[in-house]
Amino acid sequence: LGSAPVTIVVTSEADTWDIDTSSCLGCGHFVDRHKMPEPQQPAPIPRDVLGRPPKELKRLAREGCWGRSPAGRARLYPRLIQQVSCRLVTPDALVYRDVAARLFGKPSVSSHPLPEFLEGCPVPTYCLNEHGVTALKKILICVGALFPDVTHSPLLPALAALLLHYSEDEAQCFESVSRLLASNAPHAGYVDQSFLAHQASCMTFGDLANKHCPAAHKLIAGAAENVLEVYSEWLSWLFPGLPFGYAVRVLDVFLLEGQKVLYRIALALLKEFRLSVGPAGLQGSDVKAELQAFARNIAQHVTVDKLLERAFGIRLFSRKEIWLLQMANRKALVERGITVAQRRPSFHLAVDMQKFSSSTVTAQEMRLVWSWIPERFSLFPPLLLFSTSEDGCSLQRFYACCEGYEPTVLLIKTTEGEVCGAFLSSDWSERKKSGATSGFFGTGECFVFTVRPEAERYEWVFIKKPELAKAVPRSRQRSPSPAPESPLGSSRDSRGSSPNHLAVPSAHRRGRLSPFLAIRHFLLPSKTASMFMSGSRDGIVIGKG
């Protein structure tokens, strides 16, 4: 940016806010211009920019076309947000003025309790002056009054603060925030509004990091006791973690493309973080603190243009596939007892691998394997279904013990002491659907891995190259209902009835959520592209083609 990063001031988390309206009535200037890192010059924005095709509009936003001056963003942000599809009854600027007049009408100091959704969430002020900080507090208090269903939203304070920099007045900023909260676009949400939704997003980011940043993921899994806890802070790397000049460039594309953009930027940050770590790794370091410090000092490592370029170079799956994954993670959290109304988990979500015992792998090795499997399954402790030391070496016995459960992890130790294995997303009983022939089944989440002598994972080729598989047209897809409150299913015996264990849903549950990376969502180039797992009387096959 050509200047030092802006220091971000975070307001104290008191139980109440004192709002002084005696000195800022009618003021519309909320920014300390001396803190703004951008040059004050006209922005070369085409007059018909909003009439451009969506693809070109995204390109202009990614290239920072309207980031040359505050005036450019001030003109475009409200118009972009007006195009967001939202609920019919959404509070607007007029509603804000009415509510604000009742709450803060008299020119005096008044105290107001913090909105529920701000509990434990930092409130960044970026380049706002004293009047701007007061306006931000008023906006957030009114959001709490008019959106009582919003119970947990770490992104919301930063989003409101950034929009306020480019708003004519408080009412316009409030209306912009309201429309983003009330968005009803399919598979394209903007703001998580409950702890359940936020935690599902954190798990989804963990899944994406696992697939797209394997080197960084392996580094974190080796240094952190709880990988999910590290990924649970992914949003704070961006807001309030990034300096102001970077944060507004992220906002430019976020308003056009939604939450998927945030995943991209955070994944790019994670890749850059891995490059910044020396050969010694993170031994003895506080991984969460290291990541937060890296985000704050990102200007020392990569420019904002290069960061965005690398973020959009990551080949993510479609918004629909990511939505499916997020809904699956949400269901797993519900299975663990997390509710929409809950603000914090009442128990530790991660699995304690120090209690794990096996003659095949060590607890440390199992912790790495557990970090590789999808987040929604890693919430649950491993349940031993079959072991050659206890059940013998019969393949039929193996099938009998494993049928009725999905997913499963297979661990194999060779006579030479090497260890390999596979994550298998589907129930072994599906092999019976092929009759006498040995048919393949499973989903793109299946993968094989080695633990010794070297730890390595080998995934479906379309994870890294999604362009090889075309998405099935929406008219041919069957979109399942999220139904987050319904259980994942019941087990064939008492072991699966505990909330600590996942079991395959029963056969009559036809409406259950489709698995992530199911092959029916893709037009694959050949049958070999979907040969995930197969079982017969003669043996098992995992991966082929």
Claim to verify: residue 371 and residue 413 sit in the same structural domain = yes
pLDDT band (50, 70, 90) for residue 433: confident
Residue 213 lies in a domain: yes
Q: Looking at the structure, do residues 387 and 433 belong to the same domain, yes or no?
A: yes
Is 371's pLDDT higher than 50? yes
Does 244 lie in the same domain as 214? yes
As a whole number, the mean pLDDT across the chain is 79
Residue owning tokens 């909105």: 115
1 DSSP assignment = -
Q: How far apart are CA 153 and CA 177, in angstroms?
A: 12
What's the pLDDT at 525? 56
Please indicate, yes or no, whether residues 313 and 205 belong to a single structural domain of this protein: yes
3-state helix, strand, coil in the chain (%, to 5): 45, 10, 45
**CA pair distance 143, 391, nearest whole angstrom:** 59
Scanning 116-225, the segments in alpha helix (DSSP H) are 130-146, 155-164, 170-181, 195-212, 214-223
The region of weakest confidence among 80-89, 191-200, 519-528 is 519-528
Res 373 pLDDT > 70: yes
Greater confidence (391 vs 483) lies with: 391
- Residue written as token pair 């797209």: 212
- The yes-or-no verdict on residue 12 having pLDDT over 60 is no
Cβ pair 320, 22 in contact under 8 A? no
Structure-model confidence comparison of residues 146 and 55, the more confident one: 146
How many Cβ atoms are within 10 Å of 68's Cβ, its own excluded? 17
DSSP, residue by residue, 454-493 = S-EEEE-HHHH-GGGSEEPPGGG--PPP--TTS-----SS
The pLDDT, as a whole number, for residue 412 is 95
Question: Which range among 200-214, 281-295, 522-536 shows the weakest confidence by mean pLDDT?
Answer: 522-536
Evaluate whether residue 212 is within a structural domain.
Answer: yes
pLDDT of residue 519: 55
Looking at residue 524, its pLDDT comes to 57
- Residues 200 and 329: beta-carbon distance below 8 Å: yes
**What number of other Cβ atoms are within 10 A of residue 322's Cβ?**
21
Q: Is residue 341 part of a domain?
A: no
Distance CA(143)–CA(163), nearest Å, equals 14
Same domain, 328 and 371: no
> Between 23 and 159, whose confidence is greater?
159
pLDDT at 523 over 60: no
Specify the higher pLDDT residue, 509 or 144.
Answer: 144
Report the distance separating Cα 142 and Cα 138, nearest Å.
Answer: 6
- Are residue 142 and residue 291 in the same domain, yes or no? yes
CB atoms within 10 A of CB 283: 7
86 three-class SS: strand
Tokens of 50: 């909003």
Residues 309 and 378 in one domain: no
Q: Is residue 513 part of a domain?
A: no
Average pLDDT over residues 491-497: 37
Predicted pLDDT at 489: 30
Degrees (nearest 5) of the Cα angle 373, 348, 449?
15
> Are both 399 and 456 inside the same structural domain?
yes
Distance CA 133, CA 126 (A): 9
Neighbours of 105 (CB within 10 A): 10
Q: What was the pLDDT predicted at 41?
A: 52
- Report the chain's terminal Cα–Cα distance, integer Å: 48
Question: What pLDDT does 297 receive?
Answer: 95
Percentage above 90 pLDDT, the chain: 37
DSSP letter (8 states) at residue 355:
G
What is the C-alpha to C-alpha distance for residues 441 and 425, in angstroms, rounded to an integer? 9
pLDDT on residue 411: 95
* Confidence tier at 116 by pLDDT (50, 70, 90): confident
Mean pLDDT calculated for residue range 93-118? 84
Domain check: are 310 and 371 in the same one? no
478 has a pLDDT exceeding 80 = no
Structure confidence at residue 488 (pLDDT): 29
Residue 156, pLDDT > 90, answer yes
pLDDT at residue 449, as a whole number = 93
Is 434 part of a structural domain of the chain?
yes
Q: What is the pLDDT of residue 368?
A: 85
Does 91 fall in a domain?
yes
60 to each of 2, 68, 263, 265, how far by Cα in Å?
Answer: 21, 12, 20, 17
Q: State the DSSP H helix or E strand holding residue 247, giving kind and residue range, or none if neither.
A: helix 244-257
Residues 331 and 293 in one domain: yes
Residue 175 lies in a domain: yes
Among 303, 336, 369, which residue terminates a domain?
336
Residue 482 has pLDDT above 90, yes or no: no
Q: Which of 110-124, 260-274, 369-383, 439-453 has the highest mean pLDDT?
A: 260-274
284 HSE (CA, 13 A, CB side): 1
Domain interval for residue 79:
7-336
The CATH code of the domain that includes 165 is: 1.10.472.80
Q: Which of 33, 85, 117, 289 is nearest to 189 (CA)?
A: 85
Q: Tell me, what's the pLDDT at 520?
A: 55
- Least confident range from 65-69, 292-296, 313-317, 318-322: namely 65-69
Q: 């980011």: which residue's tokens? A: 205
Poorest-pLDDT segment among 47-56, 299-308, 379-388: 47-56
For every residue of 408-447, DSSP letters joined together read EEEEEE-TTS-EEEEEE-S-GGGGGGGTTS--EE--TT-E
Q: Final residue of a domain: which of 307, 336, 365?
A: 336
Same-domain pairing of 332 and 366: no
Q: Compute the average pLDDT of residues 493-521.
A: 44
139-156: average pLDDT:
92
DSSP result, 368-413? HHHHHS-HHHHTS-------HHHH-S-HHHHHHHHTT--SEEEEEE
Give the tens place of pLDDT for each residue, 434-474.
665 667 888 888 899 999 998 888 888 776 666 665 554 44
Per-residue confidence (pLDDT) for residue 475, from 0 to 100: 46
pLDDT above 90 (res 346): no
pLDDT score recorded for residue 370: 86
pLDDT of 384 above 80: yes
Question: Residue 19: its pLDDT value, please?
Answer: 63
Between 321 and 527, the higher pLDDT residue: 321
> Which range, of 29-43, 97-111, 368-382, averages the lowest pLDDT?
29-43
User: What confidence score (pLDDT) does residue 286 get?
Assistant: 86
**pLDDT at position 530:** 67
* 274 and 394 within one domain: no
Q: What is the domain count for the chain?
A: 2
Please write the tens of the pLDDT for every residue from 195-223. Answer: 999 999 999 999 999 889 999 998 888 88
As a whole number of angstroms, the distance between CA 542 and CA 458 comes to 11
Region 89-95: mean pLDDT is: 90
Residue at a domain's end among 336, 370, 398: 336
Looking at the domain assignment, is residue 346 inside a domain? no
Residues whose CB falls within 8 Å of the CB of residue 25, separated by 6 or more in sequence, listed in order = 107
**Distance between CA atoms of 195 and 345, rounded to whole angstroms?**
8
Please give the residue that has the higher pLDDT: either 343 or 127: 127
Going by pLDDT thresholds of 50, 70 and 90, the confidence category of residue 23 is: very low
Question: Between 367 and 106, where is the model more confident?
Answer: 367
501, with CB counted inside 10 A (0-12, 13-18, 19+), is: middle
